Structures are given as structure tokens and as C-alpha cells.
Amino acid sequence: MFCEHRWDRSLAFGETVFPCPRPGPAPMLLWLLLILAPGRQPAGALPKALLLLKPPWSTAFEGETVTLFCKDHHSLAWEYVSWYHNETPLRKQSGRLQISKSGHYRCKTQRSSLSDPVHVQFLPDWLVLQASHPAFERDKVVLRCRGKEEEDIMERTYYKNEEKIGSSYNSNITVYPAFNDDSTYRCTASGMYILGMSWTETSRPLKIQVQELFPSPVLTASPSWPIEGSPVTLTCETWLPPLTSRTRLQFCFFKEHRALGAGWSNSPELQIPTMWSEGTASYWCQARTVIPRILKTSPRSQIRVHRVPVSDVNLETQPPVGQLIEGEDLVLICSVAAGTGTVTFSWHREGSERSLGRKTQNALSAELRIASVREQDAGRYYCAADNLDGPVLSKRIRITPRVPVSRPVLTIRGPRSQAVEGDVVELRCEAQRGSPPILYRFYHEDVPLGSSSAPSGGEASLNLSLTAEHSGNYSCEANNSLRVQRSKMVSLSITVPVSHPVLTLNPDVAQAMVGDVLELRCEAQRGSPPILYWFYHEDVILGNTSAPFGGGASFNLSLTTEHSGNYSCGADNGLGAQSSETVSLNITGLCKNKVTHITVGVIGCLLSMLGLAATAALVGRFRTQRKSGAIPRNIGSVPGPDPPAQALHSPPSLSRPALMELQPLYSNVSPGDDDLVYSQIWIRQHREGSPAHSPRTHQKGEVFHQEPAIVYSEVKRADPYDPARQDREEAAEGYENVPCTSLALDH
């Protein structure tokens, strides 16, 4: 089992800005400010004092004390020492100061200037990371991971920028941080509890700022402005901290790229017996240590010698001002009207600290060629001429290269991400580079839409009110008379809101019958797909259908008496719904199949008439046979086979109750023609005894038959290319004839 304790907040003392240090909020990033930014010691100023710590750690536990000492270049100071805590003077003036409060401490003696601040921190933590004080560049720094209970620590691990740099079972490791090293260090300590559980503690992060061993030297000349022919003494000024007084420095002086004198020397001075007006030459020096080998160079300095000054400096350009085009070479010609000796010419652009070029020659003019001038080279230029008596400047002239336009970029901005018909979009064309004025032209499918000018450069725009015809590719063109450039194509898709849909009924009748299959068709003439159609009956939703590719959509409805009323539909493609006008429909309460009902009525009448005729014929024949004696009066007494049933019985009564015994049976029959469907109707009459069977004859439309009767009613099938055919076929497959005897009796 592992138990770990870590700091989850960083410790920072914030910026160190003197003379007003500003500690940051706790917990803070632990800075080891050994000696901050030593800086250059001004010539003639006292060297800085050095503040020392005992014990030599800038981090300690709360409750501990640290003793401060102040040292100058000679020795430790034991009296007349000025102490400062957070820039506040302390009354104590002895050579040492015992402290137990965190803060920035400084000191000074009578023979030194104020030391650099040292930040001492007293922490309430269980584990702290300490670094030895002071430390200089290329010098070793000892890191110590210290806990309040050292005997409990079994292992210490050290990290630099969150990377492990070593482990130690004792407390110390050595690192060699570079000057201005911004690395962060921390350590962890681990051990074991009595029960075998492990634990880990992590210190706060530590940042080490290492002091320069010695600052970069500064070259001075005495006198600073010599007269031609007089001697000059050069001095390479730098200094070492008091604690490093045993370190030895060596010096070397240079003129341009040539070493002066005997080369490296232990003396920081070099004397030049005679100074001539050889023009403006650069002088500089170097200082170095042998162990460790550290080399630093001074800035270059110029020593001016008195001679006849130059006058009337003038700057000219080729090509002339206003005719320079980007990419061409620019020649700057600097000339003087008078001057003696070697003249140094330099060329400058206003706002730039560095010169563009420098030439030293025994002449009254000089040229500087700037190759392939760019747009960023525009500005105010001037030149200077100097013959060691001080530079004389020319008048400033403005040079602005004319820049051909770059390839413009077309952007289309609208009120929404997807353009909609009726929106006003802005076509914006911009060339990132190009001298004004710039004329922009806008195109739709290479057809000009309009133009706009940018007199001061930059961009131009064109507003466009969108219609459906504006879908397509757009581009723009930039022209500043130096070059014509065309942008890339930008595609624009216009989404068209749906128009008011039109609802139609199929069949298109104002009155329909119960059982009819009605097709509701809704179509919006305009609108970008996909379109969702909704169908309503008295504002109640019947259903919806989608048209993924636009156009109309249909909804089939099998009618009942409740379907009378007003119908409407709605269309929506995400840009706003539109509703159709209402269409009224009246449903009559007849049977489901009108053709079947009429057919049954007609058959009932025909059967009645046939029954009457057959009865009359049989009665007449029977009477004739009886008169002639062909038929006995008592049929039942005659032996032999039974006569036919039709001869034995009289015809059924033709009264209305007898017709009620007719029972129609029917079904759908297809004779094999794909375009025809017949309704087959069987009508049987119940009689006493076994019914006789007679053959039946067929005719298209209607059939005259003996009992039982069959009637075919012709029904045309739907066009196979009709979009609603599938719906009708599905309705036909579920069709069932309903007998309506009362209607047949009425007919």
C-alpha cells in the first residue's frame, strides 16, 4: 500500500523589482536569489558588497535562524554595516545579523556599494530543497533535500524540470547551472512506515538564478575625443565579486579585427602613443578567466579624432523617388560638398537603430545598393558623413516601393451559415499586398457583377440580394495597374424556402363515397429539398410524407363517413413552414362498392321477372296436359322413377317475402386480363327439396342466367405508371364486397 504527500500548489515570490520587492501570495514558487542581475559597475563607483549566509542555505525551516555577513573587496566587515530588510533600513550596524523572518536582505559597508538582494525563506514544510549560497556561473551548486526527521528518510530523488537527475541515500547532489538558467528543481523523500507502508514527501519547487562571475567589460578611452597625433589610453573595465578575488582576469584589445599590442595581458589598460585621423574605426576588448574558461567581449566603440569636418551632405536615389517597384534594386547615393581626409558614409532608415550600411573611403561620395527592395523597406531614409569630427546628416527622403497586388482572397459573409433566398450577402475581396489604389471586380460564373475601388488599399465589398439563380461559383479580381490577379473560386449554394403548397384530391371530386380510396397530393412549386409534407383533416394531423429530392408527396386515405370536412397540407424544408388552402370534401353514406350494389338490385328485378314468366309457362303447360290426359291427376299413384323436381313443384311465389330468401354471394375474379377485375356475384334461392342446376351464360358487364345467377362487374385497373398505383393496389387487395339486400329489393 502506497501513501504519498505532495504539494499541489506552487510557491512563487513573484518578480523581484528593486528597490521595491513584491512578494506574491502564498504558497509561492521558491526562488533562490543568490545574487540578482549584477549589472555593470559604473566607472569610478565603489564595488558591490557581497552578502553571505551561515549556514550557507537560503531556505530553512520555521523556527531556525540564519546569520548574515557582509563582505567587501577587502574582508568581512565587523562594524559600520548598513542592513536592509525588504528595503527597510535596520538599526543594527554590527558585522553580522541573525534573522528568522523571510524576506529580501541587503547590506553595504563604508568601502562598498549596496549588495544585491538575497531572499531568505523560512518554510513550515516537512521537506525542503536547499541550494548552496552563493553560486557563480560555471561553478558547482550543492542541492540538499532536507527533512525535519532525517532518520525516517530512506531515499531522496532529485528532479530538474520534472526529469529525474539523480537519487541519493545521503542528502546532497551537485549541479552546474548555467548563467540565466531558468530550470526548476525539486526533490522527493520516501520511506517506510512500521507496518510496511511506503510514504513520499515532495518539496516545493526551487529556481536557481546564478550570478555572473564577472560582467561583460566596457571599453573606455582617455581622452574620449583626442586631437589628431595625441596619445590615447584604452581601459577594459570589469570587476570580480569579493568572494572570487583569487580568480585572475586577462585582457586583449582590438581595432576592427586586428589585435593591438602584445595580445593577451594581465593589465586592463593599453596605451596608443599616437592617434591619427584614419577614419572611424571600431575599438573593443575582451576579458577572460583561465579556470574556468569564461570569455566576454565589450561592445564596440569608436574613437573620434579632430580633423576638417564635412558639410552639405546630400542623399539621392536611383531610380528616382516614386518610380521604384518592389523587387528592383535601390541605389542610395550619399555625397558631401566639403571635407578632408577619410570620410565614413553611413545609410539609415528612420526608426531603425542599426545602419543599413557603412563605407569608409577617401572620396566625397559613396553608394549603397539595396537588392530586391520589399514593401517593408518603405520609410524615410537619410545618410551621414563623418571624418572623425562628428557625423553630418542629410535631409530625409521618403521611399515607398510600389507593390503589385497579390492574389486576392474572396470571402462571402451572410446572416447565417447557409445562404437562403432573400438574404443579403457581402462579397468581400481583399489583396493582402499591393500599392493603392486597387480596383476590385466581382464575378459570378465569370459574369461581372460589379466593381469597387479601394483608394487607400485594403479590401472592398459588394452586397448581393440572393435569388435561387445566384447559386454557383464566385470570384474576384484585383488590379492596381502593376498587376492583375484573380482569386480562387468560392462556391455558394442558395437554399430556397418552400412556397405555399397546393393540395389536390384524386379523384378530384367534391363528393365521395364511403369506402373510396382518396389520394391527397401536396406539392410546393418552389423550395430546396428535402421537403416534409404534413396532411391535415380539420387541423388534425393525418400523417406526413417526405420528398427527399423535392417535388410533391401523396397520402392515401380509405374514406369513412367521418372523413367529411376540410383538408389542408403543409410543407417545410427547415426554412419555415407553409400551409395550403383548405379543400372541402363531402362523404355520402352508401355501401363500399357502388357497382356491386346496383348490380344486385338489377339482378333482383330480373330474377323476379324471370320467375313470373316461368311460373306462367308451367301453369299453362300443366293445364294443357291435364286436358289431354298426358298427366294423371294423382302423380303420387303412378309407379316408376321420380319425375324431375321442376315438373313436380309449382314455381315459387313472386311475392316480396319470397325475394327476401335470395342470398347473394360474390367475390373478386380476374379473367386473366391485367387491366380488368370483375366482381362475381352468386344469388341462390332456397327452395323445398334439392335445387336444380342450370347452365349459366356470361356477358361483359352483365350476365343473364338461370338459377343460380352470376354477375361480373367490370372495374378498370390503375395505370401501371400511376404514382399512386401501389396505394390503390394495396387498397384493392383488401377490398371486400358487402351485401346490401335491401338496396337490391328497392331496385
Does residue 622 have a pLDDT over 80? Answer: no
Q: Which of 256-265, 275-284, 607-616, 624-633 has the lowest mean pLDDT?
A: 624-633
For residue 14, what pLDDT is reported? 30
For residue 226, what pLDDT is reported? 80
Does residue 19 have a pLDDT over 80? Answer: no
Does residue 358 have a pLDDT over 60? Answer: yes
More confident residue, 181 or 81: 81
Count of other CB atoms within 10 angstroms of residue 10:
13
Q: Grid coordinates in use for 188?
A: 522527493
Q: Taking the model in full, what pTM does it have?
A: 0.38
Count of other CB atoms within 10 angstroms of residue 179:
13
Does residue 231 have a pLDDT over 50? Answer: yes
Contact in structure between 447 and 469 (CB atoms under 8 Å): no
Task: Give the residue-averaged pLDDT of 589-597.
Answer: 51
Task: Give the residue-averaged pLDDT of 433-443.
Answer: 92
HSE, CB side, 13 Å, CA atoms: give it for residue 695: 2
Task: Give the residue-averaged pLDDT of 519-532.
Answer: 92
pLDDT band at 91 (very low <50, low <70, confident <90, very high): confident
For residue 329, what pLDDT is reported? 94
Does residue 154 have a pLDDT over 60? Answer: yes
pLDDT tens track for 184-228: 999 999 988 877 788 999 999 988 878 778 888 999 999 888 876
Note the Cα 284 to chain centre separation in Å: 54
Alpha-carbon distance of 421 to 337, in angstroms, equals 73
Three-class SS of residue 596?
helix
For residue 17, what pLDDT is reported? 30
For residue 536, what pLDDT is reported? 94
Mean pLDDT of the chain: 76
Task: Give the residue-averaged pLDDT of 21-37.
Answer: 36
For residue 448, what pLDDT is reported? 94
pLDDT tens track for 376-415: 888 999 999 997 778 999 999 999 899 899 999 999 998 8
Share of the chain above pLDDT 70, in %: 73
Share of the chain above pLDDT 90, in %: 37
Task: Give the residue-averaged pLDDT of 481-500.
Answer: 91
Closest CA to 239 of 49, 109, 83, 19: 49
Task: Give the residue-averaged pLDDT of 101-121.
Answer: 88
For residue 598, what pLDDT is reported? 53
For residue 511, what pLDDT is reported? 80
Does residue 453 have a pLDDT over 70? Answer: yes
Alpha-carbon distance of 436 to 438, in angstroms, equals 5
Q: Which of 292-301, 531-540, 648-657 has the lowest mean pLDDT?
A: 648-657
Contact in structure between 418 and 574 (CB atoms under 8 Å): no
More confident residue, 464 or 691: 464
Does residue 658 have a pLDDT over 60? Answer: no
For residue 491, what pLDDT is reported? 92
Cα–Cα distances (Å) from 212 to 136, 143, 160, 241, 443, in that order, read: 6, 19, 21, 9, 66
More confident residue, 565 or 641: 565
Closest CA to 307 of 231, 390, 384: 390
pLDDT tens track for 669-684: 444 444 444 444 444 4
Alpha-carbon distance of 298 to 285, in angstroms, equals 6
Task: Give the residue-averaged pLDDT of 570-586.
Answer: 90
More confident residue, 74 or 267: 267
pLDDT band at 322 (very low <50, low <70, confident <90, very high): confident
Does residue 8 have a pLDDT over 70? Answer: no
Q: Of 14-28, 290-304, 369-383, where does the model show the most confidence?
A: 369-383
pLDDT band at 563 (very low <50, low <70, confident <90, very high): confident
Task: Give the residue-averaged pLDDT of 640-666.
Answer: 38
The answer for residues whose C-beta is within 8 angstroms of residue 519's C-beta and 6 or more apart is 505, 506, 554, 555, 556, 557, 724, 727
Does residue 256 have a pLDDT over 60? Answer: yes
Does residue 567 have a pLDDT over 60? Answer: yes
- Host H or E run for residue 602: helix 594-628
Cα–Cα distances (Å) from 14 to 29, 151, 485, 638, in that order, read: 8, 34, 53, 142
Q: Which of 280-289, 320-329, 464-473, 665-674 has the lowest mean pLDDT?
A: 665-674
